Each structure stands twice: as C-alpha cells, then as structure tokens.
Amino acid sequence: MTSRFLKQELFIGKEGQRNIQNSHAVILGAGALGTAVSEMLVRAGIGKLTIIDRDYVEQSNLQRQQLYTEEDAEKKLPKAIAAEKRLKEISSYTVIEPIVEDINFHTVENFIRGASILMDGTDNFETRLVINDAAIKHQIPFLFGACVGSYGLSYPVIGENTPCLHCLIEQLPSQQITCDTAGVISPIVQWVAAMQVSQAMQILSDETIIPVLRSFDIWKMEYVEMNVAKLRNDNCPTCGKEANFPYLSSQNQTKAAVLCGRDAVHIRPPLPKELDLYELSQQWKSLAINIIANPYLLSFHYGDYRVILFKDGRAIIHGTSEVSVAKSIYTKLIG
C-alpha cells in the first residue's frame, strides 16, 4: 500500500483496496456522469480505466462535465482524449485507455471484454439496453445511472436472479425527457455518480449488495427507494430462461435512412412510440423555433436543422445527409 490510498484502505480494508487496484472499469460515455465517475475511480486507485465516447468537447459541457476545460472546447478535443489527459494529471497509477467510437450493438462486446465493472455514462435508454444485454451476457456488473433536471436514478445490474434493466424498463420515468431539452444541474450528477461509484467499490471489494432502484430529486430533496426484487421477469429476453439478447441484434436498433436529394435523414425508433406532441411542443418552447403542431406531427427548427417529428416516434431531420448527425439530434430530443 502507498500512503496515497491510506484513508480509503482504513475504511475498506487491505483486501478491498487490493481488489480495486487489480480491477478494470469501463466507462461507457464521457459526459457528466462518465467524467465524474472516472475521476472518482481514478482517485480510488482503479488499476485500469477504459473511457469510451464518440463526441467532442463543447462550451455547453463545461457547466457539469468536470474533466474538461475551455481549452479542450476551443480545440474541439474528443471527450475520451480530453478525459485521458486530465485523468493522467490526477494519477499516474491508473492505466487509462481512451476510445473515440460509438457504443452500439456492433461494438459494445469488444469494448467490455475482460472488464471487472461497467459504468453507465450514456444519455439514452437505447444504448443502455444494448449495454445491459452485453453486461448480462458476459456476466459483468453494470451500474446504471441517469439524470435530468434535478432528478437522478441509480440501479446496480448484477444478474444472479435479480432484475436487469430490461425487466425494469416499465418502472422507469418517461424516456422522452433528455437533458438537452429539460436541462440538468450539476449537483444531481454528483449524487448519481456517487451512488454508482460507491456501489462499484462495494462490488469490487466483494461486499454483498442488494439491488434497489433509488431516485433523488436534489431540488425538492425527495429521496425514494424501491425494492424491485419481485420485478425479475423469468421471460425477460435479456436475463430470463431463454435469453436471446435482443439489443445485441441489428433488428432492434434505431434505423436511419438518407433521403436522396433532400438533404434529410429519416429516423425510425426500434419500437413505435406514442408521443404526446402537445406536451412536447410546450416543453420545447425555449429551444425549438417556429413550432407548428397538428394531430399527426410537430415541425420546428432546432439549431441549423428543421425537424419533423411524427406521433409514432419517427422523424425527418432536414439540413443534413449524415446519419450520425441526424441520430445525435434525435437522441438529444427524444432520448
């Protein structure tokens, strides 16, 4: 032991500290949660940390994405690279592996192979369900975390006859609210990251943890715990008896098609949604311009793009013929 980890070792014991130092954490997404979680794990002495993100640093990230600086935003550094730079300044102990790529059904299994623990730093449920499938398939604990506004959620997916994220999906709040539309304050990020990391440390130091879904509204100071053990579904396609990991197959992904000659991309979610267009038009008043609503669709300008959003969740994004750009806008709006 070095004196660097003394205070932590006094609390979790020599073996627990050794386990953390011999572990490999994979951080999926390097936004607000991913950066907070990474910093805590690196300071705790994790042996190896892989951090994956497809995006680059922007000014609007700096309010809550704690590893990044104004210089990173000016240089438009990829988040994984900017995170690596800062994490190496914090500690030379951890081996940092940055990956600048998209996390999807095609890539996720390569990213997580050999990991001791998976940390959720994503911003949408579609990607979380992909990670959940991979985590159960490869039997690696996955610490789910999410936040929007002043509200946060945390849940440890540990397999072993306890519900996975897929089993709980109905219990989770509306997935059409994202921090790009409703905003987010940084204290709730810290709460969710703290829940994720403390449970990761417990798992890595071989403590038994009971899967409980926890939520906290840090503005209203409302904390709720939900014992979800009974929600384990024996027929769950991810963790049930005949699991087939549906989110690791290409059929259950958002489909995007470039509309030839129209500088537009059509997006179709994996399953039809039932959107409340009126509610969304009210919610988006401050970020969307020229909103036109009828019973079938919403039309509005969002940044440099014009978006047509249908009631069943399909969208046409005008102003780009890049699928990745259109998907990113869709995720920001719909989650």
Write out the residues near Zn ion by the rule CB under 5 A. Answer: 164, 166-167, 236, 238-239
Nearby residues of 130 by Cβ (< 8 Å), 6 or more positions away: 103, 104, 105, 108, 247, 248
Closest to Zn ion by CB, 179 or 239: 239
CA angle 220, 223, 44 (to 5 degrees): 110
| Nearest-approach distance from CB 239 to Zn ion, in angstroms | 3
Whether the Cβ atoms of residue 104 and residue 119 lie closer than 8 Å to each other: no
CA-based R_g, the chain, Å: 20
Enter the DSSP assignment of 176.
T
Helix (H) or strand (E) holding 272: none
Closest to Zn ion by CB, 78 or 211: 211
Nearby residues of 35 by Cβ (< 8 Å), 6 or more positions away: 65, 66, 67, 68, 79, 83, 121
Looking up tokens 């102990």 gives: 93
Whether the Cβ atoms of residue 300 and residue 291 lie closer than 8 Å to each other: yes
Whether the Cβ atoms of residue 106 and residue 22 lie closer than 8 Å to each other: no
Closest to Zn ion by CB, 221 or 271: 271
Q: Which residue among the candidates 147, 164, 179, 239 is catalytic per the annotation? A: 179
| 236 assigned to active site | no
Q: In what order do the strands lie in the sheet with 264-268?
A: 255-259, 264-268, 315-318, 305-310, 297-302, 289-293
Closest to Zn ion by CB, 164 or 188: 164
Task: Please measure the distance between the N-terminal and C-terminal CA atoms of the chain and give it in whole angstroms.
Answer: 44
| Ramachandran angles phi, psi of 155, nearest 5° | -160, 135
Calpha distance 27→53 (Å, rounded) = 9
Closest to Zn ion by CB, 89 or 160: 160
Closest to Zn ion by CB, 22 or 244: 244
Residues acting as catalytic residues: 179
